[in-house]
Amino acid sequence: MKEVQVPQPASVVPKELTDRLMALDDHLTALEERMSKFEASLERVVKAIEGQDRALIDEVSRLREELNMVRHEYEKIQQLQQAMTLSP
């Protein structure tokens, strides 16, 4: 007996399914582009906030220095007042 090979039918994907898959692929590509733009926007916001944070930290440092100078002057004035009160 001779063995006969019967060709298997090729998997046929309906055109509608192919079209839907292509549309989904296009949609995924568009979503990837949007995500990339969104990530870039977030990165810009983060950098801006970091810049503002640095500026705020610098301003706080400057104000602390100024406050320390004012305190020092205040203490000097208090000492002078006490000295004037104690002197005859």
Write out pLDDT tens, residues 3-56: 777 777 666 668 888 888 899 989 999 999 999 999 999 899 888 888 888 888
Would you state the pLDDT for residue 37?
92
pLDDT surpasses 80 at 80: yes
Cα distances from 44 to residues 25, 34, 49, in angstroms, run: 29, 15, 9
Would you state the pLDDT for residue 63?
94
- With cut-offs at 50, 70 and 90, classify the pLDDT of residue 1: low
Q: Tell me how crowded residue 57 is: count the other CB atoms within 10 A of its CB.
A: 10
Question: For 49-74, how does the pLDDT look when each residue is reduced to its tens digit (9 = 90+)?
Answer: 888 888 888 999 999 999 999 999 99
Residue type, 35: M
